[in-house]
Amino acid sequence: MIKISFIVAGYIRYYMQYNYHPLLHIVLGGKFMAYIVKSSERLRPSAADTETKALLYLMNFRKDSDEIHYFVVDFFNDLTGMSKMSNKLWDLQSKGGKKPSPYIIGTELVTLFKNFVSELKFDKYIIFMGGVTSSLRVDDSLTRFTISNIKGTALTKLRDGLIEECKKKTYISDEDITEKNIDEFLKEVYFVIDNQDKAYYIKKIIKLNPLIIPGEETLVAIFNEIRDVQAGKKNISVVEGVTLEAPDEALNYGRHLTTTEIRLLVINRILNQKVIGSNVPRSFIDIYMNFPEERRKNMLEDCQLDLSRALFNTNCQEDFWRLFENIYNVIVDNPQDDVNKLYRRIDKNIAERSIDFNTLSLKYFISVIKDGVEL
């Protein structure tokens, strides 16, 4: 490893160009190296939608999706997937337009290329697009492909677009724009076309009992919630001009989401559609039936009210999610256990912090999740 030190460089380039993305900008000056993050563009809703779809694509639709743990928003690029130990990076650029020409696609690749020639090692380079013109692909049925599926003429234009754009960007030094680099880079790029609606992306997140999958409207609402949080990450802290040594430091800025929290969000939103009512979760029936008959209904109602309280208690947000995560993991790890056994496996320190639950209502809550998650 090169010994790295920081400089506040003699010049910090501060580009506000419209189609620029926040960049980890590497300036090689003598033996110093600095990573300077660029300012981001303001997103229009459709662009934001595409970015969220891109996130969900990384999370669920790739063979290596399981390895991705963090989604760093608007830092290295539009979106960068990161493994749990920050040692593997999936760099992603999204493009919302429905029919960008091959040349435009080429220009969009510039940020990926930028990262390609940087000192950091990115493992995958992905461009996620809302659509393409018919002149681009050899086989029109493929929605995920490499340049091998791009027609010769289109590839030339795409290449031109990329080279032109690289030349315009001052943060890419001219010596990096070589035929060899460009060719090697293009071989690495993975093209993904978004061809599904929002609800579909949400449905893929978690295997739920098919009977409780909610309507399109609810799924879209969940999608929008993720989108808004994702967009909100861009405003969390100022990262312009920030310098860092290694990818893991990107997490220090709180501009990331994790697969766990997204998964939990979805389960929570779907399972807690109907909290109050006469419905008894299947797994809870044993406990229910053993309870003295005249008090059963009251007990059920009390459990439901406790759950409502927990859902309303915005002051104990962290504790709720942690408990939820714990319950979810316990259920997934012990699919054969009944609710009583599961209850005993719950981390009591976490359970204790959730003041809204007591033993019975926690068992009720476990039942709700157990019945909802398809194992």
Partner 1 sequence: MMIKSIFIGNVNEAYTFEDFREGLNIISSDDNNKGKTIVIQSIMYCMGNVPTFPTSFLYEDYYHILYIEDAGKLIKICRKAKNFVIQNGEEYAVFDNTSEFKRYWNKNIQKLPVIKKDNVWRIVDPELLVQLFFVGQDKKTTSDIINKGWYKKGDFYSLLYSMAGIEDDENITRDVESTKNKIKELKYEKETLLKENKILKDENITFEYLSATNDKIAFENILKEVEKIKNKILVLKKERSNAVSRRTKNELALKELRSLNRTMKAGRIACLDCGSNHIAYESSDSEFSFDISTAVMRRQILDSVQEKIDIYNEEIDRLTNEIIIYQKDLDSTLQVDDIQLEALLVRRREMENAREADERIIEIDGELKKLSEDLTKKETISEDVETKSKKLLEDIVNTMNKFYKSIDSTSDIIYNDIFTTRDKIYSGSEATEFHLARMYAFAKVLKHRFPIIIDSFRAEDLSTEREKRAINKILELENQLIFTTTLKEEEENKYKDNMLIHNIDFSGHTTNKILLNKHVKRFLEVANEMMITIK
The helix/strand/coil state of 183 is: helix
**Does 298 interact with partner 1 (rule: CB under 8 A)?**
yes
Binding piece for partner 1, criterion CB under 8 A, among 56-64, 133-141, 162-170, 288-296: 288-296
- Picking from 270, 211, 266, the residue whose alpha carbon sits closest to that of residue 60 is 266
Among 209, 326, 329, 334, binds partner 1 (CB under 8 A): 209
Bridge partner residues of 32 (DSSP): 29
Give the residue with the Cβ less far from partner 1, 163 or 221.
221
CB of residue 279 to partner 1, shortest distance in Å? 5
Among 98, 167, 274, 341, binds partner 1 (CB under 8 A): 274
Instruction: State the DSSP string of 228-241.
Output: HHHHHHTTSS--TT
The dihedral built from the CA positions of residue 52, 255, 258 and 305, taken in this order, carries a sign that is: negative
Record the tokens describing residue 181, joined without a space.
Answer: 């680099």
The helix/strand/coil state of 196 is: coil
**Does 349 interact with partner 1 (rule: CB under 8 A)?**
no
Instruction: State the DSSP string of 15-66.
Output: ---TT----EEEEEETTEEEEEEPPPPPPPHHHHHHHHHHHHHHHHSSTTGG
> What length does the chain have?
375
The helix/strand/coil state of 361 is: helix
- Region 301-330 residues binding partner 1, contact defined as CB under 8 A: 301-302, 305, 308-315, 317-318, 320-322
- Region 220-239 residues binding partner 1, contact defined as CB under 8 A: 221, 225, 229, 232-233, 237-238
CB of residue 225 to partner 1, shortest distance in Å? 7
**Does 216 interact with partner 1 (rule: CB under 8 A)?**
no
DSSP secondary structure code for residue 10 in this structure: S
- CA–CA distance from 316 to each of 262, 327, 358 (Å)? 18, 17, 15
**Does 270 interact with partner 1 (rule: CB under 8 A)?**
no
Among 257, 351, 366, 368, binds partner 1 (CB under 8 A): 257
**Does 207 interact with partner 1 (rule: CB under 8 A)?**
no
CB of residue 35 to partner 1, shortest distance in Å? 17
Please give the angle made by the CA atoms of 177, 188 and 137, to the nearest 5 degrees: 105
Rounded CA gap, 226 and 269, in Å?
12
CB of residue 311 to partner 1, shortest distance in Å? 4
Instruction: State the DSSP string of 334-357.
Output: -TT--HHHHHHHS-HHHHHH-TT-
Instruction: Specify whether the CB–CB gap between 68 and 54 falls below 8 A.
Output: no
**Does 120 interact with partner 1 (rule: CB under 8 A)?**
no
**Does 363 interact with partner 1 (rule: CB under 8 A)?**
no
Give the residue with the Cβ less far from partner 1, 103 or 284.
284
**Amino acid letter, 52:** T
Among 145, 288, 326, 334, binds partner 1 (CB under 8 A): 288
CB of residue 172 to partner 1, shortest distance in Å? 30
**Does 353 interact with partner 1 (rule: CB under 8 A)?**
no
Among 64, 279, 332, 375, binds partner 1 (CB under 8 A): 279
Rounded CA gap, 49 and 97, in Å?
11
CB of residue 276 to partner 1, shortest distance in Å? 3
**Does 272 interact with partner 1 (rule: CB under 8 A)?**
yes
**Does 112 interact with partner 1 (rule: CB under 8 A)?**
no
Residues near partner 1 (CB under 8 A) = 209, 211-212, 221, 225, 229, 232-233, 237-238, 252, 254, 257-258, 261, 264-265, 268-269, 272-282, 285, 288-289, 296-298, 300-302, 305, 308-315, 317-318, 320-322, 371
